[in-house]
Amino acid sequence: MLWRVAVGLLLLGALSGCVVRTAAKVVTLPVKVVAAGVDAVTTSQSEADEKRGRELREAEERAEKERRKAEKAQRKAEREAARNGPS
């Protein structure tokens, strides 16, 4: 009989730890959800800086691409003019 009581108390002690951990998870879950939502809708300064840097780099890349395209068109026009001879 004493043995059963001892085993029961051991099981109760083991399960109470699980219950406490589960209760702690349930209590902290709403806080974590709200924090994740706030983080999703706000932008940190470093994120804003990265975005601005990316936009500037992409704008420079587009400008360089347009410059190369214009140079290519200029060379083509000069070749056509040279091929057709002076007017």
Name every residue whose Cβ is closer than 8 Å to that of residue 51 and which is 6 or more positions away in sequence.
43
pLDDT band at 17 (very low <50, low <70, confident <90, very high): low
CB atoms within 10 A of CB 77: 10
Provide the mean pLDDT of the chain. 80
Whether 84 is in a domain gets the answer yes
pLDDT at 7: 57
Look at residue 6 in the predicted model and tell me its pLDDT: 61
Provide the pLDDT confidence category of residue 69 given band limits of 50, 70 and 90: very high
The model's confidence at residue 80, banded by pLDDT at 50, 70 and 90, is very high
Examine residue 41 and state whether it is found in any structural domain, yes or no.
Answer: no
Number of domains present in the structure of the chain: 1
Higher pLDDT, 38 or 45: 45
- Count Cα neighbours of 11 within 13 Å in the Cβ-side half-sphere: 6
The answer to whether position 55 is within a domain reads: yes
Residue 68 in any domain: the answer is: yes
d(CA 51, CA 9): 59
Q: Name the residue range of residue 55's domain.
A: 50-87
